[in-house]
Amino acid sequence: MAERIESKKLTKQDINKVYVRNLFALQYGWNYEKMQGLGYTYVIMPALKRLYKNDPEKMKKALKMQLSYFNTTPAMAHLIVGADMALEEELGIESEETVMAVKTGLMGPLAGVGDTLFIAIYRAIVFSIAAYIAMQGNPVGLIIPLLACAAVMWVRYKFTYIGYNSGRKLATSFADKLAPITEAASILGLTVVGALIPSVINYKTDLAFTMGEVTFALQDMLDKILPCMLPLGIVMLSYWLLGKKGINSTKLIFILIALGMVLGNLQGMLTVVAGLF
């Protein structure tokens, strides 16, 4: 796709600055609360300064929005940040809900594609070939990864402009359809986040109750009622605690550690109690 810069606000230099920052700084300040959120904000800062340099209040609102949770394959982040810049350029801070929906809705699916293409396949093919050639004493084995890296950097550069041009088309040609698009992206984002619960949280209970010769496993009973009920309960508890004043992510981590210690030893404690009777 050709690089098309028709904007009266963002310049090609601004977009290139965002591209370079995305190459090296997306993982800056990575943490378990926002993951790449802080790095993403630093990446898009040149565009925000250009768009909101004369309005400190809008700049504060934009920064607060960008500091939200974000996590995807770095190579695919260029598409999202490109669309983000275009939407804010065309619609201003009023595009907050749309930007958040696009970021949340795309980061999960693009991460799946990006991890496959740029991590699993890329590393397996490039480094396997390079290692085999290097083992033969051929210096080309050293050059191949460098050439592959340059190719990936070029693809990421094109991704930035593809995302930017696509985002501008979305904002200008489909402005009257942004509401359903935003709603669809939000639903997709919530679906992705919901799917993360059973895949990331893998808590199961070993509690079992014996009545005569029959043994009832509590985990089997819970799975018949609602699969992954315990992981869902842990997430809902965490969400409820984070809504309480004075409970931040750090305190929540210690609460979950204590809860894990108690639940992890619950079966042993119940066995001891049962033995007393």
Mark residue 31 as left, alpha or beta (left: phi above 0; alpha: psi -120 to 50; beta: remaining): beta
Q: How far apart are CA 227 and CA 221, in angstroms?
A: 10
Mean pLDDT of all residues in 266-274: 59
Tokens of 85: 């810049």
Give the pLDDT score at 154: 94
Model pLDDT, residue 183: 64
On the question of pLDDT at 157 being above 90, the answer is yes
Cα–Cα distance list, 169 to 18, 81, 175 (Å): 20, 15, 9
- State residue 270's pLDDT score: 59
How confident is the model at residue 269, as a pLDDT? 65
Q: Which range has the worst mean pLDDT, 21-30, 83-92, 133-142, 200-209? A: 200-209
Contact yes or no for 74/26 (Cβ under 8 A): yes
Nearest C-alpha neighbor of 70 from the set 126, 29, 115: 29
Q: Whole-number mean pLDDT of the chain?
A: 80
Residue 5 has pLDDT above 50, yes or no: no
Given this model, what pLDDT does residue 38 score?
A: 92
Q: What pLDDT does 20 receive? A: 93
**Residue 3: per-residue pLDDT:** 44
CA distance 196 to 58: 33
Q: Whole-prediction pTM value?
A: 0.63
Lookup result for tokens 């300040």:
29
- The stretch 177-204 carries a mean pLDDT of 67
Q: 100 pLDDT exceeds 90?
A: no
Q: Residue 174: pLDDT band by 50, 70, 90 thresholds?
A: very low
- pLDDT at position 41, please? 93
Q: Band of the pLDDT at 184, cuts 50, 70, 90?
A: low
CA distance 171 to 168: 5
DSSP strands (E only) in 165-213: 208-211
Residue 4 has pLDDT above 50, yes or no: no
Distance, in Å, from the CA atom of 259 to the CA atom of 238, rounded to the nearest integer, reads 11
Say which residue, 79 or 123, is predicted with more confidence: 79
Q: Check pLDDT > 70 for residue 173.
A: no
